[in-house]
Structure 1
């Protein structure tokens, strides 16, 4: 049977499985299954529960999104978050049957449920302006008849995720499931997150920035609160970013991930352990030159959850995710600092839940040819068994291109890693137009994972080339830091070296028909490339940066990111910002450039696209500008489904128009 080619709207045929949660008593596991309704143009998330010896079945039903399944300590109930009644609220439901009970009625919704060790309370997060927002029947504020101005007094007053910030803050609250009484645990004009309950039920840990001026002192500290006295103790030193807290089973240690900003935003995330009795904080992966966590770039899964440290029953060790050489896998670490790999496949482990007493795991795994399924792993016997087959029928229907790894040296001898994908229907002896993809971040990592955009392009007859240039995670601290202050320098050389290597190595690339595209930092690099070379016949820049001068202050991170990353400022290093701005060199652009941008992108605001388009248009350059309404920086990953399809088709059609040889 001839397989058909993948199209942009195959997004509506794919199923995403995320956030696996394994319960040790019953050995049942829960997870979130997400599909996209083409008819309703919306995401539908359902919680499933399964066991190793049987097929998983839907646990929740109805429209909307059900997420964050969390087992009660005895395994008899699941708490989860649902939007079935518009606002996201927390529900609790017996696993063996019964109705779901809505247990929060917060005005602004609720999320991140954490069971108390005794199973009678839930710790959760909610946006709060006043304590009234926590109560059932809280009045919804009536629409004002007359508009009022927004008064801004803080450096940080908007967010790509939330839009313009108001007087609400993310606070932690505790719900007594028997009495339904809710206690607000944190107060004030600060945000709190990453809640974790101590094994004895007497304390909770969380992260917050409680510095006097949080706008200027950019940190996230770990705190422990005594639930009886409400006293808070800070366990980190106001010099870094920390998150993802877990307690050791014996309550002696707090484990979390983070760093002390030694290289600002380019610092490797590491494993930290705080001993409560001695009040000593240790970095346990100081000598491990690897990024802890999953930083793989993709455009399919959203809602991936980093479990942090998954402690063994004896509290002497833990498992954790890490990103290395374009793959994500599982490491084991011990309190005494020993670290070694447990599972390092050439794949993307994007979700994991471990029964640490038996050293077994349920993992979500994706590859370049597989959107993702759940697997059972036994770390001792190395047994591996596929548990789900949600994308099997689709995979059997379409032609999927595999990503083949490549490695090469930049002109200065640095090793660079990447991949190349042949077009669908590849024929030996034929030459194909080729598209060079550049990832965002820049401190992220292309990986051995499914990328829908790449498959749409290979199905159209393009070779797709992608690489991890300097600035990418996965290749050590020196490599990820090398881009700071050098945007458009050695990173640009790495990207172009990938193109040179591919042309020298693969005879199926048509050197006269090359394209380039990327988003965010990848959009910056696309802009930079077409302003510094004419070797590309077409380019697509997405949610990009074109002008570091105007970026300063207009982005939700623009008042510090430019200083940290470009190493320029508005005081005495203005020329540094201008010299690294692609728009400075716009007169040199001869490549037809398509500009894609979301209108509510507060990370790379749309003014970056607007001025680039006008500058090109006024000089008679070939360009087109596509604006996506109500879309933020996450359009390609979790944005409006119909607009995601439009975006993919605009990219494909632009390259079809300007590159010869595409089908």
Structure 2
């Protein structure tokens, strides 16, 4: 899976790679596509060519100008789409109002209708089988303690179904008869997720799984057609090992369908109509994610893909004849359809960027005649599209960009590769502003991503667009520890956080300098979550490289993180650094507090007051220590925000502060 570890405030760390997107169906697509290879193949990371920095150029564009901040952040975002059972409407989340709330739109297009209004964010919407209700999840002030709510699909009062302020309930999944909703649940102080069943009539919640280890989590996948079995994934918290299970709903009995030796990632995403096959993602092939069909009675795999890029399973078609999947090649994602009987596959012809199947639990309308797609790129805000299968035509459904944004030229990303300190190949996204001179005078920014178990992709990023349009060359590297390049690469930062991966960021800065455009004395660094940690690590451990930094909700001390962070993330942290007693040296070496007194660069700290992942105590330590040393530091804390900033006014404020900081310390302007 491509983890969306971008710098925007509205989407933060996706280190918890707990969901495979659920895609459905490909009815009548054979007329749409030409037959392809029996097993989909592509080259993979080994085929990357090292980029020559001297070939990087800044294009000339007389119309280029700084994009107004308001234009970027009044451009909307869309997510969490779900077809109505009749196929006439689509419910989804959008921040048209400045808050991520629940809306719906006619599937043929038109102005959307707001269903729920709240100062809080709302996601994960899905219709009841009878079409009368929509359920969704909502938290408070970014605290991630989600409750499950229901609202009449034609509008009305919102009902809190779970009303458990100390428990997370997420990812509602209706049973076929509409009587039960499966939820992924975690008490605030628990380290694991279990599956809980919510009775729609009585609102009673009954645990279905009872995880006994401290470091595994359950997520529902699909109900059997008769509703007697729930299929689910059980993942180890480091996301290096997982299995697919069948769970008897009446008794809670679990059966492992993918038992294996060693560490193998097996994650299911869809069940065939006849209930005999599961569509899964597995890295059994030498640690690289591929798509396979799992025969449930025989427990055997039939491979659909054979690639060293990152393939992720989607869904079966309603009749079980087709399946869908995606391939993430170096941060750009394409969508595919395959014949279940022959495994012949073809790429769906859509523009480049990050593409996906957007619906939950199905991307196809109930009749199968339309497909709900998502598309975005570094120059195109994300939107939904409707593909009419029979006519082979697609129509844009949502229009996120405001008109004034479309009038401004935007610099596209380009994917480059370079060698790091030890010869390892690192990929990165690079943005070159327009109209720069190759005279070594320009400022630049290194943008470390979150995670670390995540990957930067060719997403639309208003934050990056704001910086690039103001003359900052930007590079976002997929350093060791990132996903998307195989399990060996993902594990390459074990007990070395802020070591080899920091050097990968340093070598990104060296690549920028080698282009001839960048002034080495005008290089800054900024990131959020693990990217904030990397910012702190960089300015402390390699202080002579960086002229300024902006860190957002980053870690300064892994030991104090263990005291304050969410318990599940404590387990995740230990999966990266080891036992905090036996491996204390690794924790100390990986903590920016060890190097904080060497900081030279002016630092801006931005933090949400309710952050459950990187609590504000981390930011407060940074500010206290740097002020005590007489260093240049400033901080701003956002009330009612969690891990990242969801409210539009706070998104705008944070990027304005960031631009002003870098303008002052890299450009020398106020």
Residues 1:346 and 2:352 aligned together: yes
Q: Which residue of 2 aligns with 1:50?
A: 107
Matched-pair contact (CA < 8 Å) for 1:516–1:539: yes
Residues 1:560 and 2:571 aligned together: yes
Matched-pair contact (CA < 8 Å) for 2:123–2:138: no
Cα deviation for residue 504 of structure 1 reads 1.6
Gaps of 5+ in 1: 130-155, 160-164, 294-307
Cα deviation for residue 83 of structure 1 reads 7.4
Residues 1:442 and 2:468 aligned together: no
- Give the Cα separation in 1 of the matches to 2:288 and 2:576: 15
Task: From 605, 609, 619, give the equivalent of 2:615.
Answer: 605
Task: From 189, 195, 212, give the equivalent of 1:157.
Answer: 189
Cα deviation for residue 438 of structure 1 reads 0.8
Gaps of 5+ in 2: 1-61, 140-145, 212-216
CA 1:22–1:187 in structure 2 vs 1: closer, same or farther (change >3 Å)? closer
**Structure 1-normalised TM-score?**
0.74
Q: Which residue of 2 aligns with 1:372?
A: 382
Residues 1:200 and 2:220 aligned together: no
Residues 1:660 and 2:667 aligned together: yes
Matched-pair contact (CA < 8 Å) for 2:137–2:171: no
Q: Which residue of 2 aligns with 1:326?
A: 331
CA RMSD of aligned residues (A): 4.4
Task: From 279, 294, 298, give the equivalent of 1:255.
Answer: 279
Matched-pair contact (CA < 8 Å) for 2:288–2:485: no
Residues 1:172 and 2:232 aligned together: no
Matched-pair contact (CA < 8 Å) for 1:250–1:315: yes
Count of matched residue pairs: 585
Matched-pair contact (CA < 8 Å) for 1:158–1:602: no
Q: Which residue of 1 aligns with 2:11?
A: none
Matched-pair contact (CA < 8 Å) for 2:75–2:402: no
Task: From 593, 599, 602, give the equivalent of 2:603.
Answer: 593
CA 1:311–1:548 in structure 2 vs 1: closer, same or farther (change >3 Å)? same
CA 1:465–1:615 in structure 2 vs 1: closer, same or farther (change >3 Å)? same
Q: Which residue of 2 aligns with 1:417?
A: 427
SS of 1:250's equivalent in the other structure is: coil
- Give the Cα separation in 2 of the matches to 1:227 and 1:88: 21
Comparing 407-416 with 221-230, greater Cα deviation is found at 221-230
Residues 1:37 and 2:97 aligned together: yes
Cα deviation for residue 247 of structure 1 reads 1.5
Residues 1:290 and 2:309 aligned together: yes
Cα deviation for residue 607 of structure 1 reads 3.0
- Give the Cα separation in 2 of the matches to 1:466 and 1:415: 14
Q: Which residue of 1 aligns with 2:27?
A: none
- Give the Cα separation in 1 of the matches to 2:654 and 2:475: 20
Matched-pair contact (CA < 8 Å) for 2:443–2:523: yes
SS of 2:667's equivalent in the other structure is: coil
Cα deviation for residue 520 of structure 1 reads 2.0
Residues 1:528 and 2:537 aligned together: yes
Q: Which residue of 2 aligns with 1:539?
A: 549
CA 1:20–1:182 in structure 2 vs 1: closer, same or farther (change >3 Å)? closer
CA 1:373–1:443 in structure 2 vs 1: closer, same or farther (change >3 Å)? same
CA 1:291–1:277 in structure 2 vs 1: closer, same or farther (change >3 Å)? same
- Give the Cα separation in 1 of the matches to 2:574 and 2:302: 27
Matched-pair contact (CA < 8 Å) for 2:481–2:501: yes
**Structure 2-normalised TM-score?**
0.74
Matched-pair contact (CA < 8 Å) for 1:551–1:608: yes
- Give the Cα separation in 2 of the matches to 1:493 and 1:289: 25
CA 1:606–1:389 in structure 2 vs 1: closer, same or farther (change >3 Å)? closer
Q: Which residue of 1 aligns with 2:43?
A: none
Q: Which residue of 1 aligns with 2:207?
A: 186
Matched-pair contact (CA < 8 Å) for 2:269–2:315: no
Matched-pair contact (CA < 8 Å) for 1:526–1:541: yes
Residues 1:224 and 2:284 aligned together: no
SS of 2:207's equivalent in the other structure is: coil
SS of 1:5's equivalent in the other structure is: coil
SS of 1:560's equivalent in the other structure is: helix
| Greater radius of gyration (CA) | 1
Matched-pair contact (CA < 8 Å) for 1:597–1:626: yes
Task: From 614, 618, 637, give the equivalent of 2:628.
Answer: 618
Instruction: Identify which of structures 1 and 2 has the higher relative contact order when contacts are C-alpha pairs closer than 8 Å and 6+ apart.
Output: 2
CA 1:485–1:286 in structure 2 vs 1: closer, same or farther (change >3 Å)? farther
SS of 2:634's equivalent in the other structure is: strand
- Give the Cα separation in 2 of the matches to 1:640 and 1:420: 28
CA offsets, 1:5-26, max 9 Å, x none? 3344446512222234457x97
- Give the Cα separation in 1 of the matches to 2:73 and 2:438: 33
Q: Which residue of 1 aligns with 2:471?
A: 461
